A and B are shown apart, each in its own frame.
Chain A
Amino acid sequence: MNAVLGALADGSVVAKRNLIHIKRVPDLLIGTLISPIMFILLFAYVFGSAIPAPDGVNYREWLVPGIFAQTVIFGGTITGMGLATDMQKGIIDRFRSLPMAQPAVLIGRTSSDVVTNILTIAIMAATGLAVGWRIRTSIPEAVLGFALLLLFAYAVSWAMAYIGLLVRTPEAFQSLTFLTVFPVTFIANTFVPIDNFPTVLKVVADWNPVSSLVLATRELFGNVGPAGLVRAPEAWSLQHPVAYTLIWVALILLVFVPVASRQYKRATSR
């Protein structure tokens, strides 16, 4: 128990450092904020005019949860970016030579991502409200929706931590995540309904946890059409989107918390 408390205390020291970064170098946060705002506006007004109301919902309202999901997933990459930078600058060596709890750097990093993501969601929610997005359910359901987004992003942070430690440079990390995270968030029900996807792509999209996350939040916020109008999904993953998303969260954490921690222990810059 003492070890856990120690790790949390050290983790909070590291998290504080990362939050100072965000204050001093707001570019990163502004980047993660501006693009979703731009996405909301572009998709809402450019595609929105061409895409018929999916499941009988106003497209703009339907879209916002998808952008929430994409944005918090990108928010989870800040950890990897930061660790790759720390590797390159040799700061990880300094941390590793200190008598701090070993996983503290990873705990601190991943939890400061949660803080950034809360901030991002707040700003996106405001933008969403401005273009017509509404929460049409109860407060507990809405809270659950936000919690699910944050939880999924938290798991992504751990996966990104591993990748960041592995590639060691922010440039390599950036191109790698661009090549993976973008397709993963696009081949899903994030921006357009998947019913008309070509077969292979539809299977991928059906079982893509991003789809289940987006659908779950849509349902929890009430951004889906009335029961009669919504076509029932065939895939189990989309029939039980909350459960399926949680399974993925558990899987990602079970795999990446240990491998990222192991990679950290062996990490040496250059």
Chain B
Amino acid sequence: MKRYGKVTALAGVDLVVPQGTVLSLLGPNGAGKTTTVRILTTLLEPDEGSATVAGVDVLREPRQVRRRIGLSGQYAAVDEHLTGFENLDMVGRLYHLGRRRSRERARELLELFRLTEAGDRPAKTYSGGMRRRLDLAGALVAEPPVLFLDEPTTGLDPRSRMDMWDLLSQMVRGGTTLLLTTQYLEEAERLADDIAVIDHGRVIARGTADQLKDQVGGERIEVVVTEDAGVEAARAALQAIAVGEVVVERHSRRLVAPVSGGAACLVEALRRLDSAGVGILDAGLRRPTMDDVFLSLTGRPAEEDVEGGQGSPGAVPGGPPAQRRIDLDQDASTGMRR
């Protein structure tokens, strides 16, 4: 539990991440993701509760924890005046890798993150995506067994985001234990084994992406037809490929069909609607977003929450006593305590 004055930033976060797996902390702005990451990376002391990372107690042996982790914070912590190489070399020296190894490692990482060419330019000449990659490289310098990435793709353009996802999935295959925070369900789904949905400082749901989506209702096709007369025909056409009941909103001539199978379903649906002679105004495949997850979990949209949400349904005051534990463990034999 962590309070800032009257604001309770964290109220109940109880997590165990087995070695070599990826947990994604999914939540809107102000949910408490960064606070959680800061506590686990020894930057912040919780007011109550405990946490272990790689078997080491965060409060009792912070320095031992720091040896075992890599952190890439929410805002790229890159020194703009140093070159990419100098940034990584400095981090290596501060991890005590030694002069030679630090240099070697810096070059390796620049290569891995496709920054070799820019490596000897000051980082202030880098694009947002390049800075992010450099920051991430900084987290990997000491090849730490446990890695924390706080919103690694927020603020990136779609192309850089895809790039980053590719890089991250490569890394994850290497067997690193990773805690990743994000505001995007899609990102959590792509990268994580497990997702914890966090809201108002509390974990409100936990499961795989599929489990969460099932809870929300999975993906669906939405169609708006041009004439009232087409609605019935469209309903029949969609029902044939839907995995559940097709919902019809008559006044707006809108139909929503739950499906599973992605874009192929949409193609099939359009083909069927076309051969049924239904005029279509709009059609699309809708995947559940974090908004949908929130709507279904909390009954309200995931709004940005500056004041810590006094008064809203998920607000904290009067919540259960928070004696919470977080275990982030790379060593499964000592780590899995439940």
- Tell me the A residues contacting B by CB distance below 8 Å: 10, 13-14, 16-17, 20-21, 24-25, 89-91, 93-100, 104, 268-269
Select the stretch in B91-99, B247-255, B290-298 that faces chain A.
Answer: B91-99
B71 touches A97 (CB 8 A): yes
Counting chain B CB atoms within 10 Å of each CB, the highest count among A24, A25, A94 belongs to A94
Neighbouring B residues of A99 by C-beta, 8 Å: 63, 66-67, 94-96
A268 touches B38 (CB 8 A): yes
Known: A97-B43, A97-B69. A24 touches B81 (CB 8 A): yes
> What 3 A-B pairs have minimum CB-CB distances, sorted nearest first?
A94-B77, A99-B66, A97-B71
A24 touches B122 (CB 8 A): yes
* Smallest CB separation, B179 vs chain A (Å): 13
B77 touches A13 (CB 8 A): no
B71 touches A93 (CB 8 A): yes
Q: Is the interface of B mostly helix, strand, loop or mixed?
A: loop
B44 touches A90 (CB 8 A): no
A268 to B46, CA, bound (A): 13
B94 touches A93 (CB 8 A): no
Neighbouring B residues of A21 by C-beta, 8 Å: 81-82
* Smallest CB separation, B328 vs chain A (Å): 14
B81 touches A97 (CB 8 A): no
Contacts A90-B73, A93-B77, A94-B91 known; 7 new A-B pairs at CB < 8 A: A17-B90, A20-B81, A24-B122, A91-B79, A97-B71, A99-B95, A100-B96
B90 touches A13 (CB 8 A): yes
Is B41 interfacial (CB-CB < 8 Å)?
yes
* Smallest CB separation, B157 vs chain A (Å): 21
Counting chain B CB atoms within 10 Å of each CB, the highest count among A91, A268, A269 belongs to A91
Q: Which residue of A lies closest to B148 (CB)?
A: A97
Find B75's partner among A13, A25, A90, A104 (CB 8 Å cutoff).
A90
Is B28 interfacial (CB-CB < 8 Å)?
no
Within 154-194 of B, Cβ neighbours of A (below 8 Å) are at none
A89 to B43, CA, bound (A): 15
Is B42 interfacial (CB-CB < 8 Å)?
yes
Within 64-85 of B, Cβ neighbours of A (below 8 Å) are at 66-67, 69, 71, 73-82
Find B94's partner among A24, A95, A268 (CB 8 Å cutoff).
A95
Known: A17-B79, A268-B43. A93 touches B66 (CB 8 A): no
List 30 A-B pairs, Cβ < 8 Å. Answer: A10-B93, A10-B94, A13-B90, A13-B93, A14-B94, A17-B79, A17-B82, A17-B86, A20-B81, A89-B77, A90-B74, A90-B76, A90-B77, A91-B78, A93-B38, A93-B43, A93-B77, A94-B71, A94-B91, A94-B138, A95-B94, A97-B42, A97-B71, A98-B66, A98-B94, A99-B63, A99-B66, A99-B67, A99-B96, A100-B96
Neighbouring B residues of A100 by C-beta, 8 Å: 94-96
- Tell me the B residues contacting A by CB distance below 8 Å: 38, 41-44, 63, 66-67, 69, 71, 73-82, 86, 90-91, 93-96, 122, 138
Counting chain B CB atoms within 10 Å of each CB, the highest count among A21, A96, A99, A269 belongs to A99
* Smallest CB separation, A240 vs chain B (Å): 43
Q: Which residue of A lies closest to B77 (CB)?
A: A94
Neighbouring A residues of B43 by C-beta, 8 Å: 93, 96-97, 268
B86 touches A97 (CB 8 A): no
Q: Which residue of A lies closest to B71 (CB)?
A: A97
* Smallest CB separation, A15 vs chain B (Å): 11
* Smallest CB separation, B222 vs chain A (Å): 39
* Smallest CB separation, B257 vs chain A (Å): 44
Known: A13-B93, A97-B41, A99-B63. A20 touches B86 (CB 8 A): yes
Neighbouring A residues of B95 by C-beta, 8 Å: 98-100
Known: A93-B43, A99-B63, A268-B38. A20 touches B82 (CB 8 A): yes
Neighbouring A residues of B71 by C-beta, 8 Å: 93-94, 97
Neighbouring B residues of A14 by C-beta, 8 Å: 94
A94 touches B66 (CB 8 A): no
Neighbouring B residues of A89 by C-beta, 8 Å: 75, 77, 80
A196 to B74, CA, bound (A): 57
Counting chain A CB atoms within 10 Å of each CB, the highest count among B81, B82, B138 belongs to B81
Find A93's partner among B63, B73, B91 (CB 8 Å cutoff).
B73
A93 to B63, CA, bound (A): 14
Counting chain B CB atoms within 10 Å of each CB, the highest count among A14, A93, A98 belongs to A98
A13 to B82, CA, bound (A): 13
Q: Which residue of A lies closest to B75 (CB)?
A: A90
* Smallest CB separation, B269 vs chain A (Å): 46
A96 touches B42 (CB 8 A): yes
